[in-house]
Amino acid sequence: MKQMIIKGGNTLSGTISIGGAKNSAVALIPAAVLANGISTIKNVPNISDRDALIDILELLNCQVTLNNDELVIDTTNLNNKLIKEEYSNRLRASYYFMGALLGREKYVEIYIPGGCNIGARPIDIHLDGFKALGATIKTEGNKYILSADKLIGTDIYLRFQSVGATINLMFASVYAEGKTTIHNAAQEVEIINIAEFLNNMGAKITGAGTNEITIEGIKELNGATISVVPDRLEAGTYIILGALAGDNLKITNIIPEHLEALTTKLKEIGTHITISKDAITLSKTSKLKPINIKTLVYPGFPTDIGQPMSVLLTQCDGTSLFEETIWENRMGHVPSLNKMGANITVSGMNAIIKGPTKLKGCEVVATDLRGGAALVIAGLIAEGETIITDVEHILRGYENITEKLTSVGAKIELKEI
């Protein structure tokens, strides 16, 4: 078990370079099993979710070589075995092996996925889509058995623009006979990255990034190369930190268009922000205006930046409203923020945030990945020492977080307990 210890109040200057997107990498890695041969994934973030997926690939007898941020996966000797619960429940994205193995092998046995406790997280939309393609689904306790004699392309209407279901159904349909169209597909930028990888393998996917994706089934996919798109959520977290504690803090290696929902709000708040081709530079502003935030599917304000953003709202001069619309349980960080001195009232999926409030360091607990990131920001602007427990949640999705923050002047360390 690890703790994070932060001594707050320092001004942060210099450059933070953003890594590859967690939510893209965690789908690209399972996608490799769709091809027969060797694939290379570049710009892979150094996060524990990556390691959990590598363990699943190795369980399936794939040969995996990790060289810094480059992952080479050889699926030639793939052995399609049961993915045991101790592998699947380490992260949400283990469920991408459902679509990928169903697509390639027409058979998969896997236990339920894990992931952050931010809501019920059903997978009915994925399963309905697999069934529409012709798969049979059986459950034995926590185990799913998906099988098909053959998969046949069809029209699939998602009842919600689910990111995971869109990706899983792209995986399951690449080898299906004929054409599959996913209607009401999620439009997140990571989905474009994943479709590009599959197309590099030889798939025929069009429309990724729009709400209608078409997949023409093919017979063979070969190993291919892809680079993971920059992580807009890691970037968003540090950008918010820059607005609170920066002195020309530069966040580089990003695609600013992917962050427009956030930067538009930051301008509305009154933040000093300079946007260039692949970087955003911020400095702390003394008076910030309160605003309302409502999280939405892409290109709306990302749910994954809502919790870090709520810390910024504690420093705005007046009352802000933070409405979460995707996950029922995304306010787990609020008791910790209030313990630090914030004035936040939660009602269901909404929070009313009154500011500005001085934050004071104390012992707090990371209940989930982005809630943990919010506490890191809070600790860095608080007076005194903040100790964050359960930091494993944070390390699942933020690569080298203490090194990156230390390099710009933060006092932050990880301690084994």
Task: For residue 193, state whether it binds ligand EPZ (rule: CB under 6 A).
Answer: no
Measured CA to CA, the distance from residue 3 to residue 391 in angstroms comes to 6
- Alpha-carbon distance of 246 to 241, in angstroms, equals 7
Within 270-309, the residues that bind ligand EPZ by CB under 6 A are 303-304
Q: Minimal distance in Å, beta carbon 349 to ligand EPZ?
A: 10
* 18 touching ligand EPZ, by CB under 6 A: no
Interaction between residue 371 and ligand EPZ (CB under 6 A): no
Nearer to ligand EPZ, 115 or 246 (CB): 115
Task: Show the binding pattern over residues 50-89: x = contacts ligand EPZ (CB under 6 A), - = does not.
Answer: ----------------------------------------
272-275 vs 38-42, strand pairing mode: unpaired
Smallest distance, Å, CB 399 to ligand EPZ? Answer: 13
Comparing CB distances to ligand EPZ, the nearer of 240 and 273 is 240
369 in contact with ligand EPZ (CB under 6 A): yes
Spatial CA neighbour of 322 closest among 356, 296, 359: 296
Q: From the centroid of its chain, how far is CA 347? A: 25
Contact 6, 401 (CB under 8 A): no
Task: From 100-108, 119-127, 277-285, 399-407, give the range in contact with ligand EPZ by CB under 6 A.
Answer: 119-127
Q: Which of 162, 336, 367, 402 binds ligand EPZ (CB under 6 A)?
A: 162
Helix axes 124-132, 96-105, angle to 10 degrees: 10
Which of 370, 374, 390, 405 contacts ligand EPZ by CB under 6 A?
370
Binding part of the chain for ligand EPZ, among 155-163, 205-213, 273-281, 378-386 by CB under 6 A, reads 155-163
Among 83, 93, 244, 401, the residue binding ligand EPZ under the rule CB under 6 A is 93
How many Å apart are CA 367 and CA 352, to the nearest integer? Answer: 20
Query: How many residues interact with ligand EPZ (rule CB under 6 A)?
Result: 29
Rounded Cα gap, residues 327 and 311, in angstroms? 18
- Interface with ligand EPZ, residue 121, by CB under 6 A: yes
SS (H, E, C) 233-254: HHHHHHHHHHHHHEEEEEEECC
How many CB atoms are closer than 10 A to CB 156?
A: 25
The nearer residue to ligand EPZ, 124 or 155, going by C-beta atoms, is 124
21: contact with ligand EPZ by CB under 6 A: no
Q: Which of 292, 354, 299 is nearest to 324 (CA)?
A: 292
State the nearest-atom distance from the C-beta of 333 to ligand EPZ, in Å.
12
Tokens of 8: 């707050």
Q: Is 160 in the site for ligand EPZ (CB under 6 A)?
A: yes
- Asked if 189 is part of the footprint of ligand EPZ (rule: CB under 6 A), the reply reads no
- The yes or no reply on residue 327 touching ligand EPZ (CB under 6 A) is yes
Query: Which 3 state secondary structure label does DSSP give 161?
Result: coil
Closest CB to ligand EPZ belongs to which residue? 164
**CA 347, CA 345: separation in Å to the nearest integer?**
7
Positions marked catalytic: 116
Query: Which H or E element spans position 279?
Result: strand 279-283
Name the 3-class secondary structure at 177. strand
Residue 354, C-beta contacts closer than 8 angstroms, at least 6 positions apart: 318, 319, 343, 344
In the complex with ligand EPZ, the residue whose CB is nearer, 52 or 118, is 118
Q: Does 29 participate in binding ligand EPZ (rule CB under 6 A)?
A: no
126 is a contact residue toward ligand EPZ (CB under 6 A)? yes
Q: Is 188 helix (H, G, I), strand (E, B) or coil?
A: coil
φ, ψ dihedrals at 21, nearest 5°: -70, 125
Residues of this chain that bind ligand EPZ (CB under 6 A): 22-23, 26, 92-93, 116, 118-126, 160, 162-165, 186, 233, 303-304, 326-327, 369-370, 397
